[in-house]
Amino acid sequence: MSRVHDALRRAGQSVRVTGEDLDPSPAEVPVQPPASSVARTSVWDLDGLLDGVEEVPFTPAPESHLIDLHRPMETPSEEFRSLRTRLNHMQTLQPLHTVIVTSPSPAEGKSFTTMNLALAQSHLADNLVFCTDFDLRRPTLHNLLQLDRGPGLSDVLMGETSLKSAIRRVAGTNLYFLSAGAPVKNPLELLNLREVKAMFEELPSIFNWVFCDSPPLLFSADANLLSSYADGTLLVVRIGSTTIDTVTRAVQSLDENNLLGVVANGARAGELYSKYTYYYSRKEE
């Protein structure tokens, strides 16, 4: 494990979800995105984007273990609130609004992490959160919420529907969700469109946080491309499954200045290893 620790230390600061050494006072206050001092031509028409957006009930899939605002003491609510606190504190220190959530390999819990972190942020008053599924190869987020796969991201990027028509708001939260959309044969080519990069540049003018699920790092180039667009990347690994070699390769593939930290999934409740983030979960992706 020391080799993994050294790789993570070289790559950047890891995130801890324990409540220790955290300062919750500034973290729970949403930070408004700073106005850009550089004039930029807008690719997306975001005027009135949230007006009249379809609202859907929060009906998580059975055994999805999504956190519920009305049941704050259930696992893994506290762990994700701690992670939220840490990220909000980091946001006061650096420009941080768009986050890619990925993993070295499949079935390590990245989609579960993406959705729960987005939900945790959306429970704060006036903290508008956008969450979308950029894993066009194996999308999962819509299943966690028991929503349809489309219309969604791919349909918007291919011009078959508008962004406003595809977005849905989860009732009782400040979470706006965009599913993956219809299957496509060329996900990487679609992600190279200038409209994708523009989403990362322009959505923070409306949303305080933008969380994006992406394919695993070592199985496609999608996550590396998306990571280059975002302010930061969270790497999800699974205790007892992810090997030292895959973690090291995944970390080395990322820009060390872009890696926010590592979230370790599948740990026993109360278990903690130095420099790691642990949350208790019985559910993978």
Which residue range is the domain that position 85 belongs to?
A: 2-20+54-279
User: Residue 75: what pLDDT?
Assistant: 65
216 part of a folded domain: yes
The answer to whether position 28 is within a domain reads no
Is residue 198 domain-resident?
yes
Number of domains in the chain: 1
Whole-model pTM: value is 0.80
Find the farthest-apart pair of alpha carbons in the chain and give their distance in angstroms, rounded: 52
Asked if the structure places residue 132 within a domain, the reply is yes
Residue 44 in any domain: the answer is no
167 within domain boundaries: yes
The CATH number for 171's domain is 3.40.50.300
- Whether omega for the bond prior to residue 26 falls within 30 degrees of 0, making it cis, is no
Q: Is position 78 within any domain?
A: yes
Within-domain flag for 49 = no
Residue 267 confidence (pLDDT): 65
Predicted confidence (pLDDT) per residue in 43-68, tens digit: 788 989 999 999 999 999 988 889 98
Regions of the chain with pLDDT less than 50: 1-27, 29, 31, 33-39, 271-285
